[in-house]
């Protein structure tokens, strides 16, 4: 691994680290080390890094801002590629907006709302990156990414890059084609928005942000919503009705504010979180006959 790390450093693609703790790169502040951790400074440097990584047959994983991610305590084998600085550009051309996959979704929503562009009011307070939001079709308040995405620039497992249209993304509730049929990661996206009343747009965005602050545990590290809503039910309601709010294993605890959030009280491990997830699944299945599916992405060595 050291030879590969040295080679990537020589290519001057951006920061390259070895045995980097991924707890530093996830919103829940949990995760073992990455053998090699890189943060490419451009799409071109990402492509160069991918060519080198693929030539060595080393496993690779892409992460964004780590907001809907649980990395196991043993970390991730191979190379972890973070889409961040360098892939966080933003280009506004009328109502058509192009954003880098590493751009903060919150910052993106704030910027376009101040330009009087409507379509992302639902994203007020939603953490994470543009790439992650498109990958999982993030949404809230009756809307989601699929309503505004024109196309996405996707990096596939073989290292190729391709634009996929909205239709080709095959969006559904919190999912896209990238999670199943065509595994890939979004490095850029084009959105089609609408002109609107700037004050109303900013106000709606702030209202949604305030609602999240009031109903979700912002004062503790978490990975966001843990379970998908098993419609017509809501995950948080099922967990609350089962008396699981506040349930704790080790340093992980189901939030007393919102049942679909597991918080890190200070020293939680991934094993603690996984144990709570399994307990919730077993409890809800026995009590309500509902199979709970995780929304959070769980990756790493087992």
Contact in structure between 255 and 245 (CB atoms under 8 Å): yes
Of the residues 39, 121, 204, 295, which is catalytic? Answer: 295
Radius of gyration of the chain, Cα coordinates, nearest whole angstrom: 19
What angle, rounded to 10 degrees, do the helices at 198-215 and 105-114 form?
150
Contact in structure between 230 and 291 (CB atoms under 8 Å): yes
Q: Among this protein's residues, is 225 annotated catalytic?
A: yes
Provide the phi-psi class of 61: left if phi over 0, else alpha when psi is between -120 and 50, else beta.
beta
Residue with the two structure tokens 């790493």 = 300
Rounded-to-integer distance, Cα 72 and Cα 269, Å: 8
Q: Which of 271, 267, 274 is nearest to 29 (CA)?
A: 267
Q: Which of 182, 180, 149 is nearest to 166 (CA)?
A: 149
Q: Among this protein's residues, is 204 annotated catalytic?
A: no
Say if strands 261-264 and 33-38 run parallel, antiparallel, or are unpaired. Answer: unpaired
Of the residues 20, 174, 204, 255, which is catalytic? Answer: 174
Q: Among this protein's residues, is 295 annotated catalytic?
A: yes
Rounded-to-integer distance, Cα 127 and Cα 108, Å: 11
Of the residues 104, 129, 222, 225, which is catalytic? Answer: 225
Residue with the two structure tokens 């910052």 = 107
Rounded-to-integer distance, Cα 211 and Cα 199, Å: 18
Residue with the two structure tokens 């907006």 = 97
Say if strands 139-140 and 194-195 run parallel, antiparallel, or are unpaired. Answer: unpaired
Tokens of 281: 């699944």
Q: What are phi and psi of 230, to 5 degrees?
A: -80, 70
Active site residues: 174, 225, 295
């Amino acid at each position: 691994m050291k030879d590969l790390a040295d080679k990537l450093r020589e290519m001057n693609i951006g920061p390259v680290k070895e045995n980097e703790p991924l707890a530093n790169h996830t919103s829940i502040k949990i995760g073992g080390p990455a053998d090699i951790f890189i943060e490419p400074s451009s799409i071109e440097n990402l492509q160069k890094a991918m060519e080198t990584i693929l030539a060595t047959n080393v496993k690779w994983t892409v992460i964004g801002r780590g907001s809907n991610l649980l990395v196991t305590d043993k970390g991730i084998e191979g190379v972890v590629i973070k889409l961040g600085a360098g892939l966080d550009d933003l280009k506004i051309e009328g109502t058509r907006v192009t954003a880098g996959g590493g751009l903060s979704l919150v910052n993106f929503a704030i910027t376009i709302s101040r330009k009087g562009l409507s379509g992302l009011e639902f994203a007020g307070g939603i953490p994470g990156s543009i790439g992650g939001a498109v990958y999982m079709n993030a949404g809230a308040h009756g809307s989601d990414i699929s309503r505004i995405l024109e196309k996405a620039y996707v990096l596939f497992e073989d290292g190729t890059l391709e634009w996929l249209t909205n239709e080709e993304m095959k969006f559904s509730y919190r999912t896209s084609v990238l999670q199943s049929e065509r595994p890939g990661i979004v490095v850029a996206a084009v959105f089609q928005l609408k002109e609107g009343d700037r004050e109303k747009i900013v106000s709606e965005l702030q209202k949604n942000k305030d609602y999240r602050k009031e109903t979700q545990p912002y004062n503790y590290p978490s990975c966001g919503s843990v379970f998908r809503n098993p419609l017509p039910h809501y995950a948080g309601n099922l967990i609350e009705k089962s008396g699981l709010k506040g349930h704790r294993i080790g340093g992980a605890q189901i939030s007393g504010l919102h049942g679909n959030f597991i918080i890190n009280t200070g020293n939680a491990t991934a094993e603690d979180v996984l144990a709570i997830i399994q307990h919730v699944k077993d409890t809800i299945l026995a009590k309500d006959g509902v199979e709970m599916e995780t929304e959070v992405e769980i990756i790493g060595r087992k």
